[in-house]
Amino acid sequence: MKFNLLSKFNKTTTVNHAGEKAFTLSAEMELYTAVVTWSLNDSFYEKDEKRMERLRTLIAKCSPIFVGKLAVYARTKMYLRSAPLVLVTELAKLHSGDDLVARVTDGVIGRADEITELLACYQMLNQRTGTKKLNRLSKQLQKGLSTAFNRFDEYQFAKYNRDGAIKLRDALFLVHPKAKDELQQVLFNKIVNGDLQTPYTWETELSALGQLNFDSNEAKALAFRAKWEELIDGGKLGYMALLRNLRNIQEAGVSYAHFQKVCGRLADANEVAKAKQFPFRYLAAYRELIVAGTDSPLKGLTQKLSALLSGNKGYTGALLDALEQAVQASAANIKGFDYNTRVLLACDVSGSMQTPVSAKSKVLLYDVGLMLAMLLQSRCKNVEVGMFGDRWKTITVPRNNILGNVQEFYRREGEVGYSTNGYLVIKDLLQRRVKMDKVMLFTDCQLWNSTDTSGEHIHALWVQYKTQVAPNAKLYLFDLKGYGQAPLQLLHNNVYLIAGWSDKVFEVLAALENGGSALDAINNIPLTP
């Protein structure tokens, strides 16, 4: 049976980065997985340049409309910022003759600074240097940027008017947007003349305060405490800024009333929904509170201030509770499974999963998988969870403690070693004759067999499991790195693949459960006319 199986699928087999047999993906599936798991930094198995080369090849193989919709999907649903700009730039090279590029360009510009970011991306990927930096800009890309210019107000432009290689003023001269009214023309003139009003933001306020001279360090500390309280009262801290500054606020010693406001806002379900944060952002904030140190640019200052003020370290528990409530709120709309549906969640804790999601982040790919698994676990009534490396091990954790559960797995990850023996998950079910309805692996999909000389492979074991134990079982691969192969053949024997780091991946899961495909979420994205 094993040899027949290999023969049947040999036209689609390849090898993964671990040298193990794997299965190829369609161009659309491979592009989808590569884009939504890319933060534009080197990964464990693939350098940025290599992925860029692979993306260009895949883009040329896919329909322009799919590429455009994927760019908008990556920006608006997966909350990515850089990868969508790469897609737009590459699409502009290959496609012309209609307004598709213009519509996609408009669709991926969510913040004012992304206008200049896209131009910088266009310049870099087209290798424009010297006097030819941005001449002959794609007309449709220019049209899309012009539309985007009309969407932002003075505060938004001023907030992101940064000193980069390409400034807003440069972009305005290059794009030539037509002002929609006299007030907007005045705004465009301010951009040209450098007269944008300095925005009131937490960064500018704290920076200005730091430039002042104080009679004593105590006076300085009190001033910063008052400023944090003012920012909290005025609602000038965006939700992400709040998450990233919890330790600073705590060490500044703000009043208990202000501390309550912080906790209330963190846990507010409406705020959570509007914030559209990656789940791992909550984990990063959670860890920042329970471990020493901070990456904040105010680190040195807050340490000095906390030595002068009592701070409110005793409130840490309340902050942790608020973060847990926030994560619970983010999971509220995930369609879990009922008491009659047996679900198994398996987390890959191998060495290749121990890489940061981006160059500046402490969050590992491994953490992303754990967060997504624990979010889903909280929504399932009949669920087992575990982790695999050299070995496979189930771990019992409560359902309603998402962040605490991630930390428990994090603390115990060394118990199973660091290989990628995902086949052991299915082998264990097969040997124990345990009937599962849904089996879900959170992994970079570079599975292999490092321990068994018999060469057992997860694909053959899954076919055997469905034949002998659970004919209706489904297996879902949550691909967290998009290297371009799958350890099992997709769409055969109820095997499906989902990719990405956002909790929106569970919308794809729901679509699959309803008979759709992983690409439906992309194909259904509207492109603004």
Q: How many Å apart are CA 446 and CA 348, to the nearest integer?
A: 10
3-state SS class at 343: strand
Give pLDDT, residue 8.
35
Mean pLDDT throughout 123-147? Answer: 82
pLDDT tens profile 322-356: 999 999 999 998 999 999 999 999 999 999 999 88
Give pLDDT, residue 130.
56
Q: Is the pLDDT assigned to residue 293 strictly greater than 50?
A: no
Query: Are the CB atoms for 459 and 427 separated by under 8 Å?
Result: no
The residue with greater pLDDT, 435 or 492, is 435
Q: Is the pLDDT assigned to residue 152 strictly greater than 70?
A: yes
Rg (CA), the chain: 25
Backbone φ/ψ region at 82: left (φ over 0), alpha (ψ -120 to 50), beta: alpha
Which helix (H) or strand (E) is 441 found in, with range?
Answer: strand 438-443
Other C-beta atoms closer than 10 Å to the C-beta of 136 total: 8
Beta bridge partners of 224: none
3-state SS class at 476: strand
pLDDT tens profile 471-487: 999 999 999 999 989 99
Eight-class DSSP state of 529:
-
Other C-beta atoms closer than 10 Å to the C-beta of 213 total: 6
Q: Taking Cα atoms as reference points, which of 72, 74, 66 lies closest to residue 482? A: 74
Mean pLDDT throughout 451-460? Answer: 83
Give pLDDT, residue 408.
93
Query: Are the CB atoms for 147 and 106 separated by under 8 Å?
Result: yes
Give pLDDT, residue 131.
47
3-state SS class at 54: helix
Q: Is the pLDDT assigned to residue 3 strictly greater than 60?
A: no
pLDDT tens profile 6-22: 333 335 788 888 888 88
What are the b/e assignments for 479-502, b being 16+ CB within 10 Å? Answer: bbbbbbbbbbbbeebbbbbbbbbb
Eight-class DSSP state of 333:
T
Query: Are the CB atoms for 118 and 166 separated by under 8 Å?
Result: no
pLDDT tens profile 353-408: 998 887 778 889 999 999 999 999 999 999 999 999 999 999 999 998 999 999 99
Instruction: Compute φ and ψ for 422, nearest 5 degrees.
Output: -65, -20
- CA distances to 157, 174, 257, 298, 310 from 253, rounded to whole Å, are 33, 48, 11, 15, 6
Q: How confident is the model at residue 497 (pLDDT cuts 50, 70, 90)?
A: very high
Give pLDDT, residue 12.
77
Q: Is the pLDDT assigned to residue 296 strictly greater than 50?
A: no
What is the 3-state composition of the chain as percent helix, strand, coil, each rounded to the nearest 5?
55, 10, 40
Q: Taking Cα atoms as reference points, which of 86, 103, 197 lies closest to residue 145? A: 103
Give pLDDT, residue 2.
31
Give pLDDT, residue 311.
57
pLDDT tens profile 262-272: 999 999 999 99
Query: What share of the chain in percent tops pLDDT 70?
Result: 91
Q: How many Å apart are CA 345 and CA 383, to the nearest integer?
A: 7
Q: How many Å apart are CA 343 and CA 345, to the nearest integer?
A: 7
Give pLDDT, residue 128.
75
Q: Which residues contact 283 (CB under 8 A, 6 or more apart)?
A: 363, 367, 371, 403, 406
pLDDT tens profile 405-433: 999 998 998 999 999 999 999 999 999 99
Q: Is the pLDDT assigned to residue 145 strictly greater than 50?
A: yes
3-state SS class at 14: strand
pLDDT tens profile 179-230: 999 999 999 999 999 999 988 889 989 989 989 998 888 898 899 999 999 9
Q: Taking Cα atoms as reference points, which of 499, 497, 489 lies closest to residue 517? A: 497
Q: How confident is the model at residue 301 (pLDDT cuts 50, 70, 90)?
A: very low
The residue with greater pLDDT, 140 or 312, is 140
Q: What is the 3-state secondary structure (H, E, C) of 280-331?
A: HHHHHHHHHHHCCCCCCCCHHHHHHHHHHCCCCHHHHHHHHHHHHHHHHHHH
Query: Are the CB atoms for 450 and 421 separated by under 8 Å?
Result: yes
Other C-beta atoms closer than 10 Å to the C-beta of 419 total: 21
Q: How many Å apart are CA 281 and CA 279, to the nearest integer?
A: 5
Q: Which residues contact 46 (CB under 8 A, 6 or more apart)?
A: 17, 54, 483
Eight-class DSSP state of 198:
P
Mean pLDDT throughout 104-116? Answer: 95
Pairing of strands 21-24, 485-486: antiparallel
Residue labelled with tokens 């191998």 = 350
Q: How many Å apart are CA 463 and CA 467, to the nearest integer?
A: 6
